[in-house]
Structure 1
Amino acid sequence: MAQSANIQLIDIGVNLTSNRFDKDREQILDRAHDTGVESIIITGTNARESEQALAMAERYDCYSTAGCHPHDAERLTASDFKLIQSLHSQDRVVAIGECGLDFNRNFSTPDSQIRVLHQHLELACELQKPLFLHERDASDTMLELLLQYKQQLPPAVIHCFTGSQDALEHYLELGLYIGITGWICDERRGQELADMVHLIPDDRLMIETDAPWLTPRDLRPKPKDGRNEPMFLPHVAQKVADCRQQSLEHVAEITHKNAQTFFNLPN
């Protein structure tokens, strides 16, 4: 696993509320810090978990998001959304989301996903707060919706990007940031991403683990429980650097700066 005493990284997407972290959250963050991960953004995926994410951000001196994942869109109530709105008055809640569209699994109907995404886009435009977006097999619809809000849209990131080059180019044309995970380390399904990650401009690239999911497939040794952790972010950064023919230090510098700028984090 790549490590360097000279790098500082920000993991823009960690599902720290997952029960897979219940036994050792503090140790997980200690290990991450030891590998150069300076801070993390804890992902909120529904009203309850967004509330938990904020509590963890306060406890562990990091940051969180608040929103409703497309998988949960059908279950989002009016009171849930009011809670999400209220969380955005807190300084440690730095982005609206995780929200978006997932037409791959359709755990919620496409219509409900679109309705809930509209709610989040309107909130983002009202608050002028960054958007943390999820998109799977839905880039055409995502672009169509984002274009409807183009004049008022705040900064937005397509987190855990796994789409096509055409989708990537359209997102970049719209001014979006792109979040890259350990998906790029999977020679079976991540090769297309590895081949096109160089197309992302330096000032639009961010990196993340999406832990506990998407453990880099080429990690050696592999974690015994298969669980991903923020401590593996330098490994992702090294793979991104190799694919972009840049140094690890350069990728660390630009992604750290972009995350600070995007989420309005203190220096």
Structure 2
Amino acid sequence: MIDVGVNLTNKRFDKDRFELLQRAQQVGIANILITGTNVKESHEAVALCQQYQQTLPNYLYSTAGVHPHDADHVAPHYLEQLTELARQPFVKAIGECGLDFNRNFSAPEQQKKVFSEQVSLAANLAMPLFLHQRDAFESWFDILKPYLDKVPAMVSHCFTGSKTELEQCLASDMYIGITGWLCDEHRGQALRDIVALIPLNRLLIETDAPYLTPRTIRPKPKSSRNEPSYLPYIVQEIASITGHSLEDIIAHTSENARRVFALC
């Protein structure tokens, strides 16, 4: 299994980060992709990859980008900073970037500007895009559409959209990241209804830890903090809903992740 979305720089992991990685290995997590959400966090993600390279060789990789929540706070030279980060061998995609009109922590027009600039950067660098979208699908897709054949791959991270949105993403050859949202029979029912539409060759799995802890974990963990070792619960839920075997889901999602992110 490969967890393609972990917020490993989060302070909730500071006390036991190495033990967490060991637990991930013990349940069969072959690689982890650390999510970069702004320039500072992207630097920290690379630093973690470097820190654990000797003890866990070729285990951690990362992305570099600016989340829409942080769009209002970019420095004038942030694209140069992202370009420099992208030269690091650990960095495998531009992102997490996109649009989020649900909370509008950054102004929508500024979100669009910063997102467009990062999409263009990914095309110039021939790197995949790790994408965020919430309540902004039409504007989000309009920005991506001219670049569908200009970047190696696009990943719709933590997909929670509608059937129509899913079909549009799949028709555009995007990869779809599924998280523990699927394991929530209340909030995640709409996703549960359509997850079987995702072909195995377009499916990716991710915890988005420390967020979105699967509600199917038994016994229920004492902490609400999600971690990569819980990824098997997402695989089990996909299998239960779709009828695919655990082995097929693991094999296909692992191959997809290696292909998209050029993992060793």
Q: Which TM-score applies when normalising by structure 2? A: 0.96
Match of 2:92 in 1: 94
Cα offset, 1:143, TM superposition: 1.1
- Which residue identity does 1:202 align to in structure 2? L
Alignment match of 1:174 (pick from 172, 188, 191): 172
Q: Within 5 A, what are the aligned runs for 1:149-228?
A: 149-228=147-226
- Which residue identity does 1:173 align to in structure 2? A
Alignment match of 1:72 (pick from 70, 74, 78): 70
Match of 2:46 in 1: 54
Contact 2:216–2:233 under 8 Å retained in 1: no
Q: Distance in 1 between matches of 2:52 and 2:253?
A: 22
Q: Distance in 1 between matches of 2:17 and 2:169?
A: 34
Alignment match of 1:34 (pick from 3, 11, 26): 26
Q: Distance in 2 between matches of 1:95 and 1:149?
A: 15
Alignment match of 2:6 (pick from 14, 17, 31): 14
Match of 1:6 in 2: none
Q: Distance in 1 between matches of 2:105 and 2:83?
A: 23
Match of 2:135 in 1: 137
Alignment match of 1:147 (pick from 145, 148, 169): 145
Cα offset, 1:221, TM superposition: 1.7
- Which residue identity does 1:35 align to in structure 2? V
- Which residue identity does 1:166 align to in structure 2? T
Contact 1:47–1:81 under 8 Å retained in 2: no
Contact 2:184–2:215 under 8 Å retained in 1: yes
Cα offset, 1:84, TM superposition: 1.4
> Per-residue CA shift, 1:28-70, capped at 9, x if unaligned?
0000100111110000000000000001012223100000000
Number of equivalent positions: 258
Farther off after superposition, 238-247 or 147-156 = 147-156
Q: Distance in 2 between matches of 1:150 and 1:234?
A: 31
Match of 1:235 in 2: 233
Cα offset, 1:260, TM superposition: 0.2
Identity over aligned residues, as a percent? 52
Secondary structure (helix, strand or coil) at the match of 2:31 reads strand
Q: Distance in 1 between matches of 2:106 and 2:219?
A: 37
Aligned CA RMSD, in angstroms, stands at 0.9
Alignment match of 2:79 (pick from 56, 78, 81): 81
Q: Distance in 1 between matches of 2:253 and 2:133?
A: 21
Q: Distance in 1 between matches of 2:50 and 2:167?
A: 37
> Per-residue CA shift, 1:128-176, capped at 9, x if unaligned?
1000000111111111111122342331100000010110000111110
Match of 2:15 in 1: 23
- Which residue identity does 2:153 align to in structure 1? P
Alignment match of 1:245 (pick from 236, 243, 246): 243
- Which residue identity does 2:30 align to in structure 1? E
> Per-residue CA shift, 1:62-91, capped at 9, x if unaligned?
100000000000101123332111000011
Cα offset, 1:118, TM superposition: 0.6
Runs ≥4 in structure 1, deviation > 4 angstroms?
A: none
Q: Distance in 2 between matches of 1:152 and 1:253?
A: 27
